[in-house]
Structure 1
Amino acid sequence: MIGTAPGGQGGVASVIEVLRQGGLFERESVRYLSSHREGSRGAKAGAAFNALWRTSLACLRERPAVVHAHAASRASFVRKSLLLLIARSSGCRTIFHLHGAEFDRFAGAESGAAQRWWIRHTLERSSVVIALSDSWAAFLRGFAPAARIVVVPNSVPLPPAIELDRTKEQPGRILFLGRVDAGKGVFELLEAVAALALSFPQVHLVIGGAGQLDQVRRRAVDLGIGERVSLPGWVQGADKQRELALSQVFCLPSHAEGLPMALLEAMAAAKAVVASTVGGIPEAVADGANGRLVAPGDAEALAGAIKALLGDAALRARLGDAARATVQERFSTEAALGQLSTLYRELAEGGQ
């Protein structure tokens, strides 16, 4: 398996950690190679070269049954496509596991004819392409008709019910987790919080993540909510669970997504969630049933959805409980690991 360094930032790293903690590596004798890590350009280049070298050696000397690459767009795709080419050339079965929220844009408007051919070729020559949702699977089937597409949603562990305690929630506290930039809807979220400040004097937004932190701080001050916004940086592990426990509402108003791990984690923690109608999100969140959905980029609608939740404890509890039930039924770690194990064994035994 090839992907970003375990323990790193972002959804792919979270996916890898779930698979590792769930026991997939031991169950299926998975060796993990990091092709990307956070840091300087030199550190990133070193990780990419190391993965290229180690993958080449493993494929030539040991012939692993399956090479499973977690990929996104742009540089991530380039790295993984080369590694999968090496694997195919060595006779290995390959899995291209797509996580990129903007892969449709990358494969379309951002790519010339030659690059589009290479993207399509990589997908169609892979033994299996994993999509995170039915909507992404539909796009991939249209873009690469000869590819074998399988849907394996992201999954998250379900915290024990005993750990869920809404008495810990702080009034008016809103949580965002993810990359901090315009594409995640952070600036619309700031506008929504500014609009809510008069109605909810205790409203406070926690933005957990790395990215455009200085721009966010400046915009919060310009909107008059500088003291209502906290930027703790990237949060994970126990710190993430603490932030989830303290929040009344989780909000992820992204402009593009695959199937975000942070959203599933908030749902598993029985939080009332507000998210946008992009990517695989509508396949996890049904508006009014287990969360609220708004159009991306619509700060007014975002403020309205958050306002309805902050002002109604019973509604928050109902949607939060339904969100947790959704994760338990459809996004459990056991189900995802079972699908991957089945794929591995089918490919190892000579499947397509």
Structure 2
Amino acid sequence: MRVLITGTTYYPAHNGQAIFTTHLAEGLARRGHRVTVAVPALSDLAGESVRNGVTVHFLRAVSLGRWHPDASVPLFAHGALQAIVATTRPEIVHVHDHYPLSRLATRLARRAGVCVVGSNHFVPDNLKPYLPGSRRLGGAYERLLWRWMLDLYNRLDVALAPSATAAEILRVAGLRIPVHAVSCGVDVHRFRPLDGAGRGAWRRRYGLDETRALVLYVGRLDGEKGIDVLMRAVHLLREKRLTLGIVGKGAARMALERLAQELELGDRVKFLGFVPDDDLPALLDSADLFAMPSSAELLSIATLEAMACGKPVLAARARALPELVSDGDNGRLFRPGDAADAARCLKALIDAPERWPQMGAESRRRALGHSLEEMLNRHERIYQSMLKDVPPD
């Protein structure tokens, strides 16, 4: 099949959409499909490149990084994208958001009679913190943002959501087209339990105490992620020998660093910044527990990666996280936004190290059901069903 993928971000960006679209595009190319990607350029270095069998067009764009770290607006993209569509003659156009480039791709696909599928990684919570007056106008913003998204997605043929929770959210919000829950997938071969021999070395490399329980968070440092709740939970567990390692970068870092000072967390919290992809599996393996306190996850690739590494998970009982974490089986779930409940659940995990291997094995078992191979199988079946105009299996 000839597939054109559009969205806001792609490799080398490091966020959920970029990771997923890169896995999807390169996986389809490995299976013999002709895959083209068109995204706004991360900088002024627009152009075309080929990576792992995928032709990637980085279109000239203006970065809105001061407003949102991953936001950009393509400039004069109509002619460039029209030429890409004419040259590649896609059978499937797969958009990954409802922003300008994906809207343009949808219009061009419709004119050419091409099937369009849309993956949704969005809820209004993702954008509200960046909008002026969001606390006062939160409800109005939410309705406006949903209307903006649904205006495009209700004109597509099929929608995909990364979890059953995400699919139901779309239906309730007003999506009228068929929607299928398809996991974003995780590379279970790269993210896997290691023999543990190098754990001490990896902790030393990142300045982490080898004698304490290590709880790791990986993701953007943004308000919606609830990292402040996790830090307050650590503050409440002053008697426990633990370190919270925070991996990632984002707009909230300075505020979180100030909070760490206010709570007098000292070396009980470590801001590790951006960690290279090559280091991440081993760093995850060096941890004892993983934490995802976000209340806005439609799946959470970071949590799946930790689970694939065999880690028990502390997670907020919110959105799709309970689809990944079963309370008492492979981790603990706490009330979102409740630092005291998070502390209670974290204490229960720390106090039972003898259960970590069993919980970690259950995490690994669950992650295997989200393998990249299964994700690619589902996408191929859905694409084929669209071309044949029959429901997918």
TM-score range, shorter chain: 0.7 to 0.9
CA distance in 2, matches of 1:119, 1:285: 29
The within-5 A match list for 1:1-352 is 1-3=5-7, 4-20=9-25, 22-24=27-29, 26-35=31-40, 37=42, 42-43=62-63, 48-49=74-75, 52-71=78-97, 77-102=99-124, 109-110=140-141, 118-159=148-189, 163-166=193-196, 168=199, 170=210, 171-200=212-241, 203-211=242-250, 212-328=252-368, 330-350=369-389
**CA distance, structure 2, for counterparts of residue 60 and residue 33 of structure 1:** 13
TM-superposed CA distance for 1:320, in Å, is 0.9
Greater mean alpha carbon deviation, residues 95-104 or residues 168-177:
95-104
C-alpha distance in structure 1 between counterparts of 2:77 and 2:23, whole Å: 21
Residue pair 1:24, 1:337 contacting (<8 A) in 2 also: no
Q: Could you tell me how far apart the structure 2 residues matched to 1:39 and 1:261 are?
A: 29
Report the alpha carbon displacement of residue 34 of structure 1 after superposing the two structures with TM: 1.8
Q: Give TM-score scaled by structure 2 length.
A: 0.79
Q: Deviations over 1:98-124 (max 9, x none)?
A: 0124379979742567x7555333222
**For residue 58 of structure 2, what is the aligned residue in structure 1?**
none
Deviation at 1:62, TM superposition (A): 4.2
Q: 1:181 to 1:271 in 2, by over 3 A?
A: same
Cα deviation for residue 38 of structure 1 reads: 7.0
Which amino acid in structure 1 is aligned with residue 248 of structure 2? G
SS of the residue corresponding to residue 224 of structure 2 reads: helix
Q: Cα–Cα, structure 1 residues 25 and 97, in superposed 2: closer, same or farther, change >3 Å? A: farther
- SS of corresponding position for 1:237: coil
Q: What CA distance in whole angstroms lies between the structure 1 residues aligned with 2:164 and 2:278? A: 32
Q: What is the DSSP-based 3-state SS (H/G/I as helix, E as strand, rest coil) of the residue aligned with 1:37?
A: coil
Q: For structure 1, which segment, 237-246 or 52-61, has the greater mean C-alpha deviation from structure 2 after superposition?
A: 52-61
Alignment CA distance shift 1:243-1:254 (3 Å): same
CA–CA distance in structure 1, aligned partners of residues 126 and 246 of structure 2: 27
Query: CA contact under 8 A between 2:6 and 2:101: conserved in structure 1?
Result: no
2:75 is paired with a residue whose SS is helix
Return structure 1 stretches of 4+ with deviation > 6 angstroms.
38-41, 103-108
My pick for the range that moved more, 136-145 or 35-44, is: 35-44
* TM-score normalized by the length of structure 1: 0.87
1:23-51 deviation digits (Å, cap 9, x = unpaired)? 54653211112236379983468772375
Matches of 1:183 and 1:39 in 2, distance apart?
A: 29
Gaps of 5+ in 2: 46-60, 65-70, 129-137, 201-209
CA offset digits 1:186-229 (Å, max 9, x no partner) = 111111111223222xx111111111222111111111113222
Q: Distance in 1 between matches of 2:142 and 2:319?
A: 20
The 8 Å contact of residues 188 and 297 in structure 1, kept in 2 or not, is answered as: yes
Q: Name the CA shift for 1:121/1:258 in 2 (closer, same or farther; >3 Å).
A: same
Higher helix share: 1
The answer to whether the 8 A contact 1:68-1:97 is kept is: yes
In the TM superposition, residue 56 of structure 1 has moved relative to its aligned partner by 2.0
Q: Give the distance between the partners of 2:244 and 2:173, measured in 1 at CA.
A: 39
Between 295-304 and 21-30, the greater mean CA deviation after superposition: 21-30
Give the root-mean-square deviation of aligned CA atoms.
2.9
Kept in 1, the 8 Å contact 2:315–2:334? The answer is yes
Q: Is the Cα contact below 8 Å between 1:8 and 1:38 reproduced in 2? A: no
Distance 1:24 1:351, change over 3 A: farther
Contact 1:152-1:339 within 8 A present in 2 as well? yes
Aligned residue type for 2:339: A
CA 1:127–1:313 in 2, change beyond 3 Å: closer, same or farther?
Answer: same
* Count of residue correspondences: 344
Structure of higher RCO (CA pairs closer than 8 Å, 6+ residues apart)? 1
Larger strand share, 1 or 2? 2
The worse-fitting range, judged by mean Cα deviation, of 160-169 and 299-308 is 160-169
Could you tell which deviates more after superposition, 37-46 or 58-67?
A: 37-46
**Worse-superposed segment, 288-297 or 38-47:** 38-47
Deviation at 1:295, TM superposition (A): 1.5
Provide the residue aligned with 2:52 in structure 1.
none
SS, match of residue 35 in structure 2: coil
With over 3 angstroms needed to count, the CA separation of the structure-2 counterparts of 1:133 and 1:108, relative to structure 1, is farther
1-structure distance, mates of 2:173, 2:42? 29
Structure 2 Cα separation of the partners of residues 105 and 217 of structure 1: 22
Letter matched to residue 8 of structure 1: A
